[in-house]
Amino acid sequence: MANINQNQDREQWGSKIGFILAAAGSAVGLGNLWKFPYMAGKNGGGAFVLVYFIILFLVGFTLMLAEIVLGRHTQLNAIGAYRKIRKNWAWVGGLGVLAGFLILSFYSVVGGWVINYIVKSLTGALNVSDAEVLGGMFGELISGTTVPIFYHGLFMLATLLIVFGGIGGGIEKSSKIMMPALFIMIIILAIRSMTLPGAVEGIKYLLVPDFSKITIGVILDALGQVFFSLSLGMGCMITYGSYLSKDTNIPQSATIIPLIDTGVALLAGLAVLPAVFAFGFEPSAGPGLIFITFPAVFAQMPLGSLFAVMFFVLVLFAALSSSISLLEVCVAYVVDEWKMNRKVTTIVLGVVIFLIGIPCSLSLGPWSDITLLPGKGFFDTFDFVSSNILLPLGGLLLCIFVGWIWGTDNAIKEATNDGNLEFKLSGAWAFLVKYVGPVAILLVFIRSLL
């Protein structure tokens, strides 16, 4: 009777692989495709990758397990999960729901840019090798009025339609298509990039660590990247964990998901850095790598237009697999707490988030003079508040809650299905969640505020 849980009507994942692909999809997002290659490029390549792997185990696996266990134990949304164990901690889950809501409002705007670039690459508009011209094209798109809002609406509609289908028929089904397709496309792009003349320097830079490059700054950057890459602290994994049956091996899942996420990040590094080195570009900061540098690289490749289309479809799948988890965090909260119909909730929240995304889009153009925080418009304010305050705070309080309030003994009991499953690292995990996790996240928090 493994599928019986506290909430009889609650949907569940149809299969173990469905859950793993959906959870990995939540973790794999735009950050893997532009931020990881950029961070590696900025922080000494192989040195950064090595530190990243160590922190992935110490912090990534630790928090991933804590969130999934909390979700499955309570079979509730992010707020309900905290409340069920300790009533006065419900607000911590509220931080996650708010973070998901804010992030999706501006993330959807970026998702819209990606759809626009798929159209541009299909029509040949990106067949330009001059980075300056491409920079102007990108600037014109994001500072526009109706065009970016139209594409933001398209992206939000795609997200809404997937979540509308529910856990099995929507999120799981789409993840089973998007994640394997994402892997195939990124492997093809990495192979193409690595076989370019002069690409060897980029491969060596990414994979061969220079230990002299490991500094406190590199460690803190790797810590921040692990934390944000895995979608930790925003209730996604609590929500996804709440749809798990009692016979799922959580320690195994919590190991596989970060490894898939890192595999995609590494492949993205191998797709980006060798090509960037081969054509003499610098791995520039932020989204410019996707929207300016890479189109310039494709324009100089044989069959470049084909690879450009493939690349932007890959980026779209990565963005969608994350956006559906962000919307699901909000939907699960309303459905659980207010007992509202799932389909109605999805439509209402989708429309509200789309409307809030409009000022985020306009703040990069016509509304650029309107600021909420000093020097920050809507887009940058929502990004700063969610990424630099709500997520680290949510992760820090998660560690304290699971480690000290609920207790690691109870968490391990849930993770091992009352001792029926082996969890060899249970002692190490308990130590990490109680002591290492909080200290590591506190460092991320302090640094992100500075």
Full DSSP string of 242-299? TT--TT--HHHHHHHHHHHHHHHHHHHHHHHHHHHHHTT----STTHIIIIIHHHHHH
Dihedral pair phi/psi, residue 376, rounded to 5°: -125, 130
Q: What is the pLDDT of residue 2?
A: 35
Model confidence pLDDT, tens digit, residues 408-428: 999 999 999 888 888 888 999
Dihedral pair phi/psi, residue 373, rounded to 5°: -95, 160
Per-residue pLDDT at 3 exceeds 70: no
Percent of the chain, pLDDT > 90?
Answer: 57
Per-residue pLDDT at 6 exceeds 60: no
The answer to whether residue 103 is domain-embedded is yes
The answer to whether residue 297 is domain-embedded is yes
The answer to whether residue 434 is domain-embedded is no
Mean pLDDT value across the chain = 89
Structure tokens at 126: 């990106």
Q: What is the pLDDT of residue 33?
A: 82
Question: Of the spans 297-301, 397-401, 443-447, which averages the highest pLDDT?
Answer: 397-401
Q: How many CA atoms lie within 13 A of 5 on its CB side?
A: 20
Model confidence pLDDT, tens digit, residues 90-124: 999 999 999 999 999 999 999 999 999 999 999 98
The answer to whether residue 406 is domain-embedded is no
Per the model's pLDDT, the better-predicted residue between 18 and 286 turns out to be: 18
pLDDT range class, residue 141, cuts 50, 70, 90 = very high
Domain limits at 326? 16-384
Question: What residue has token string 């001792």?
Answer: 419
- CATH code of the domain containing 119: 1.10.4160.10
Task: Decide: 10 and 239 in contact? Cβ < 8 Å.
Answer: no
Question: Of the spans 58-62, 71-75, 197-201, 207-211, which averages the highest pLDDT?
Answer: 71-75
User: What distance in Å separates the CA atoms of residue 275 and residue 281, rounded to the nearest whole number?
Assistant: 8
Q: What is the pLDDT of residue 397?
A: 95
User: What distance in Å separates the CA atoms of residue 21 and residue 28, rounded to the nearest whole number?
Assistant: 10
Domains in the chain, number: 1
Per-residue pLDDT at 284 exceeds 70: no
User: What distance in Å separates the CA atoms of residue 24 and residue 321, rounded to the nearest whole number?
Assistant: 8
Per-residue pLDDT at 180 exceeds 80: yes
User: What distance in Å separates the CA atoms of residue 428 and residue 21, rounded to the nearest whole number?
Assistant: 26
Per-residue pLDDT at 8 exceeds 80: no
Per the model's pLDDT, the better-predicted residue between 112 and 5 turns out to be: 112
- Specify the pTM: 0.91
Per the model's pLDDT, the better-predicted residue between 164 and 302 turns out to be: 164
The answer to whether residue 186 is domain-embedded is yes
Task: Decide: 230 and 441 in contact? Cβ < 8 Å.
Answer: no
Q: What is the pLDDT of residue 285?
A: 55
The answer to whether residue 414 is domain-embedded is no
Per-residue pLDDT at 322 exceeds 70: yes
Mean pLDDT of 123-143: 89
Model confidence pLDDT, tens digit, residues 332-354: 999 999 999 999 999 999 999 99
Mean pLDDT of 235-241: 93
Per-residue pLDDT at 9 exceeds 70: no
Cα–Cα nearest to 242, from 23, 21, 398 = 23
Positive/negative CA dihedral, 367, 369, 374, 380:
positive
Per-residue pLDDT at 388 exceeds 90: no
The answer to whether residue 442 is domain-embedded is no
pLDDT range class, residue 132, cuts 50, 70, 90 = confident
pLDDT range class, residue 240, cuts 50, 70, 90 = very high
C-alpha torsion angle, residues 369, 373, 375, 379 (rounded to 10): -70
Mean pLDDT of 397-401: 95
Per the model's pLDDT, the better-predicted residue between 327 and 35 turns out to be: 327
User: What distance in Å separates the CA atoms of residue 163 and residue 325, rounded to the nearest whole number?
Assistant: 8
Helix (H) or strand (E) holding 154: helix 146-164
Percent of the chain, pLDDT > 70?
Answer: 97
